Amino acid sequence: MKSSYTGIPLRVLTHNIRYATTSPFRGEKPWEERAPYLLKELRYNTRNQDAFICLQEVLDNQLTDVLSGLNSSDSTPESERGDPNHTWAYIGVGRDDGYKAGEYSPIIYRPSAWELRHWETVWLSETPDVPSKSWDAASIRIVTIGVFTHHVGRQTVLAMSTHLDDQGSRSRFEAAHIILRKIDEYRHGRFGNLISGVFLAGDLNSQEDQEAYSVLTAPMSPLVDSAKLVSSADHYGNYTTWTGFGFEGLVPGRIDYILLGPTVSSESRGLPWKVEGYAVLANRFDDSVYNSDHRAVVVDAMLHS
């Protein structure tokens, strides 16, 4: 029997691509050598998709390389290259100055598929409107937020990309609460009647039993872990999302997620997403070159109004 579920299919891909360090770890290749592998991953896994690409640890030169690589792909017809209606665009800023300094957590999308209605960067600190860090954070941390409407289906998505602190437990806890407050603000603000679905993608630096994940997926949270919404038969690839470069002496773990929402317990319908597939992709192949110390996470889902 054919399912009666209708909606728009879309793909969300999130990947911490490892910033372009001038002092690589043992086992880590420079960005110039890693970039072609990363671009192949992004091109292949977003081809013919109404996709969002959420990246973390992206320096300005890396963002330039990624966008240039996506928009000059051999799979893009020559007639469409350079046409803003057929290329990839992004939202996001460098976290250090709100412009180009420091790491971005950008959301990359196709304007031909999605109309950008609004976006902002929020600093995960006690002063969220300006570049800053608080509590026990070792680094400045941000969440990039965008409101997008699908040109054909007209569903509107609240999209978020983030990278939480790797050192500060309280920072991660407080950042998770800031993110939940922002979701609530958008759902009850001027876009509230439009938003069909919400996703938060990124590197939470939190295992499933730790602070950020626990807060963001708590029973009263509007978010759920997409990996929990698919059967094992629809889960492709690895479980671990952080691998390192092989010589760090740390235990690999699952710290990168795509969380979906909103859950609506007070209404007759529940989650507006139907997850059709979940994957954690490989980050190295036969030549043993790691494209990053993280693996990409990919979710395919249908979103209804």
Average pLDDT over residues 44-70: 97
Tell me what pLDDT residue 270 has. Answer: 74
In whole angstroms, what is the distance from residue 73 CA to residue 119 CA?
27
How far, in Å, are 39, 90, 203, 279, 299 from residue 257 at the CA level? Answer: 21, 20, 7, 11, 10
For 119, other C-beta atoms within 10 Å of its C-beta total 16
Query: Looking at the chain, how many residues does it have?
Result: 305
Burial class of residue 212 in the structure, from the number of CB atoms within 10 Å of its CB (0-12 exposed, 13-18 middle, 19+ buried): buried
- Model-level pTM? 0.94
The tens digit of pLDDT for each residue in 131-157 reads 999 999 999 999 999 999 999 999 999
Residue 295: closest CA among 260, 255, 259: 255
Cis amide bond preceding 252, omega within 30:
no
Tell me what pLDDT residue 81 has. Answer: 54
Query: In this model, does residue 74 exceed pLDDT 70?
Result: no
Average pLDDT over residues 269-285: 91
Query: In this model, does residue 73 exceed pLDDT 90?
Result: no
**Could you give all domains of the chain from N- to C-terminal order, each with its CATH number?**
8-303 (3.60.10.10)
In whole angstroms, what is the distance from residue 295 CA to residue 12 CA?
14
Query: In this model, does residue 295 exceed pLDDT 80?
Result: yes
Pull the structure tokens for residue 289.
């070159």
The tens digit of pLDDT for each residue in 188-209 reads 999 999 999 999 999 999 999 9
Quote the percentage of the chain above a pLDDT of 90.
87
In whole angstroms, what is the distance from residue 192 CA to residue 296 CA?
30
Tell me what pLDDT residue 263 has. Answer: 87
